[in-house]
Structure 1
C-alpha cells in the first residue's frame, strides 16, 4: 500500500507552508529519511523527509504552492500502485509540479492592476475562512468574505486579515451599488475606509504605468517579507504609536563588558555582549512598569506577571523576532546563552515557529550600525518596543566644565491607547539609572 507524505505541522501557529523546491522527481527511488523537498513557513525553512522507502509515485503540488498543513503532498510506494485515492482534489494540485532538474520555461512577467472593487473581491472569495482568520476579522471589524485569500485553494487565513483594511458598511454598500473602487487606505480612524473615500485609488503601492530606463528586477513579496510588511502596516494603522527618545550614561556598561572579556574562560561570562546587558536591564525595568509588559486587545489590556522578551534578529530571509520565555527568571549568563541560541536558529532557518510568537515586549538594537535615534514600530498587540541606538560621546556639564561622556541612545515606542506618556517616560528614566550603574543592577 502506498505511503502518503504529509505537509508537516511546524508549530501551533502555522496554518500553511510554501514548497520552495522539490529535491526528487516522480519515479525516483527514495530511502526512508531522505529529504524530499524544502518548505517555508512565514517564519522559517524546513526539510520534509520521506516517511518510507520506495518509489516516488506522485508529487501533488508544484514548487511555490502554498499548502495547508497535514495535506498529502506526495505518495511513495511500489511501481504501478494506484494512488488516485491519495491525490488531493485542490485546484492548486492539478498543475504538474516542476521538480528536480526540470527547468521551468520562462514566461514574460505581466503586471496586472489589483482587483480593488468591492464586487470583484466578493466574486473571488471561494476558499473559506480559517478559524484564526475569522477571530481576527471579528476583532478588526473586517468582512473576511471580501478578501482574496492567499491560503490553499483561495482560503482566507490570518495573515490576509492582518494585512486587510477595515471598510465601513456604508462604504461597502455604496461601492456595491455604484461599482466604485475601494482604496487600500481611507481617511477614517486608523485608516478605515469610509464612504467619502470611494472613487479614489488611495493605494500608493500600485506601480506607475510609465516606463523606466534600464534593466529592472521584480521580487515577489512572500514568506517572511510578506508577513513583516503586513504586520508593520497593520501595526501603524491600528495603534496610537508615540516614540520617546533619551540616552543613558554608558560608562558602566562599557566597563562591565571589558571585565567580562578579561575574565577567565571558566567564569563563562566572556560571551556576554552589550546587547545582553541591555536586555537584562530592560527585563528588570519591566518588573517596575507592568503597564508596558502588556497586550492591547481592543476593549481590554492584559498585563503579564512574567516577561517573555522578543528581540529583533536580522537574517538572510528578513526580520525575525524570537521570544525568550520567562526571561525575568533568568540570570544574565542564562539570558545571554538563550539569546545566542535563538538568534542562531533564526539565521540558520531552524527556529521553531512557536518560538516566534507570544512576546510581551520587544527590543530592537541598531546600535552596531551607528544609528543614533529611530522610531521602532510596535509588534502589536504588544504595548511597547525599545530601540537601542549607538553609543556616542555627549557633552555633560560638570560644575563649570564640560565633560564628554559616552551615552547610549534609547528610543521607546508605546501604544498611547494603552499607556500614557508619564509612565513611559518613567520607564526610560529607570532604564537610564540601571544602565548607568549596571553592576548595582546586576547585584539587585
Structure 2
C-alpha cells in the first residue's frame, strides 16, 4: 500500500514553497524519519522525512517546482527496495551472457569519463545546487548529476568540490573548475543567478518598509569601556557559573528592554489606523547567514537574565547557520537589534522590520580621542543608530530612547538599580 509524501503544514504567513532538493530517488529504500526532500520557503528550509520504512515510489514534484501546504510530493511504497533499480538489475541478469559481456564495456566507457571530466553541460540543477555552484564558480559540466533524469543535487556539488580539493594544483581538471575563471583581456564577463525565495522576500520587505513608513534615523555614540571592563573582570566567573560566554548582545538587549518600558511607542506597531501597544518585549536579533538575513526573536526578554539571553542568542546563531530555525522562532517581535559591527561597519542606517516601528543598529567598537573632564582620553567608542517610524514616534522620543540605552551601557549599574 502506498503512503503519500506531503509537504509540511505551512503557517499562515507562508503561502507556498519550492522543492529545493530530493535526497532520495525513485525506487530507493528509506528508513522511517530519514530525510527525503527539502522545501524552501521565504523564511526557512523545511525538511520532509519518511513517515515509515519503504521505497520511494513516483515523485510528483521535481526540484524547482512550487508546492502548497500539505500538497502531495510523491509516494512511499511498502517494501525494502535497494537504491533504485533491483527490478532492472534482475532483468539484466536474465539476459544472455553474451549481451552482458557486450554491454559491460560500454557502461564502463561511459561512466569513467563522466567521473573524470564532470557531467552534462545541459543538466538541470535544483535551487540549492545552483546557488552552491554559483558561489564556487562551477558549471553543470563540472558536476556529475545523480538526481532524477541526471539532475544535479546539492550533494553532487559537494562531492565535486571535495574531488576538486583532492586533486593536485597542477591538474587540468582543477584549473577548469577554478572559482573565478580567468577572462581574456577585454572580456566583460557576467553571471546570471536566480534569487532564492528568502532573498526575494527580504527584498520585498525592505522595499515595503521604505515605501510605507516615514523612516528617520537618529545617531549617538556610547563609551564601551565600562562594559568591556566588566566583561574582563567577570567573564571567567560568568562562564563558569552559567556555561555561556558574556557578550555585548545581552547587555544591549537588557538596556533596550528597560528603555522600551520608558518609551512604549518604540515598542508599538501600526495596524491600519490603529496603534498597537505591546505589553511584552519580544526582541528580534538580526543574524546573517549564507541564504540571507534572518531575525529570530528572544521572547519575553524582560523576564530573562543576561545568561539566558546570551544562551538563546548563541543557540539562534548556530541554528541559523545550519538552516534549522523554525518559523515560530522568527515570527513576531516588537523591536529589533542589528549588529553590523561584527562585519566592521562603523556607521549605518538600519531599515525597519515591519510592522515594528523602530530598530537599533550597533556598530564597530573604535578607539577615538574623546574629551573627558577637560582632558583628551583614548576610549573605545561605538556609534548607535535608531531608525524609527516618524508616523508614530516623534524625534524627541527617539532621541531620549537612544540616550537611555547609552546611559545604561555606560553605567551598567543602572540596569541593576532600575534608574
TM range (shorter): 0.7 to 0.9
What is the aligned partner in structure 2 of residue 63 from structure 1?
63
- Taking structure 1 as reference, are residues 264 and 369 closer, same or farther at Cα in structure 2, changes over 3 Å only? closer
1:36-435 correspondence runs (5 A): 36-78=36-78, 100=147, 102-104=149-151, 213-263=187-237, 265-268=239-242, 271-435=245-409
Deviations 1:192-228 (A, max 9, x none): xxxxxxxxxxxxxxxxxxxx94332211112211111
Q: Alignment partner of 2:9: what SS?
A: coil
| Counterpart Cα distance in 2 of 1:399 and 1:52 | 72
Query: Relative to structure 1, is the Cα distance of residues 317 and 260 closer, same or farther in structure 2, using a 3 angstrom cutoff?
Result: farther
Alignment partner, residue 91 of structure 2: none
SS at match of 1:73: strand
CA distance in 2, matches of 1:394, 1:25: 60
Give the structure-1-normalised TM-score.
Answer: 0.68
In the alignment, the residues of structure 2 paired with residue 99 and residue 296 of structure 1 have an alpha-carbon distance, to the nearest angstrom, of 50
Query: CA separation in 2, counterparts of 1:101 and 1:26?
Result: 8
Contact 1:7–1:48 under 8 Å retained in 2: yes
After TM superposition, the score normalised by the length of structure 2 is: 0.72
Report what 1:20 is aligned to: 20
Moved more, 432-441 or 421-430: 432-441
Dislocated runs of 4+, deviation >6 Å? none
Higher mean C-alpha displacement, 381-390 vs 342-351: 342-351
Deviation at 1:399, TM superposition (A): 4.2
Q: Secondary structure at the match of 1:245?
A: strand
Contact 2:296 2:329 (C-alpha < 8 Å) held by counterparts: yes
| Cα distance in structure 2, aligned partners of 1:266 and 1:56 | 49
Question: Is 1:8 aligned with 2:8?
Answer: yes
Q: Which runs of 5+ in 1 are unaligned?
A: 80-96, 106-211
Root-mean-square deviation (Å): 2.2
Task: Encode CA deviations 1:281-316: one digit per residue, 9 max, x unaligned.
Answer: 111111111100011223111111111100100112
1:292 is paired with a residue of what secondary structure?
Answer: helix
Distance in structure 2 (CA, Å) of the matches to 1:380 and 1:264: 36
Cα gap change, 1:243 to 1:265, in 2 (>3 Å): closer
Looking at structure 2, the residues matched to 215 and 396 of structure 1 have their Cα atoms a distance apart, in angstroms, of: 48
Superposed CA deviations along residues 11-50 of structure 1, whole A, max 9, x for unmatched, are 4533322111112222223332222112212122232111
Distance 2:11 2:302 in 1: 24
Q: Which moved more, 1:317-326 or 1:264-273?
A: 264-273
> Contact 1:10–1:352 (CA<8 Å) still a contact in 2?
no
Shift of 1:275: 2.0
Higher relative helix content: 2
C-alpha deviation, 1:77, in angstroms? 2.1
1:319, distance to aligned residue in structure 2 (A): 0.5
Aligned residue in 2 for 1:35: 35
Which runs of 5 or more residues in structure 2 are unaligned? 80-125, 127-144, 153-185
In terms of Rg, which structure is larger? 2
Aligned length: 321
CA distances 1:159-195 after superposition (whole Å, capped 9, x unpaired) = xxxxxxxxxxxxxxxxxxxxxxxxxxxxxxxxxxxxx
1:436 aligned residue: 410
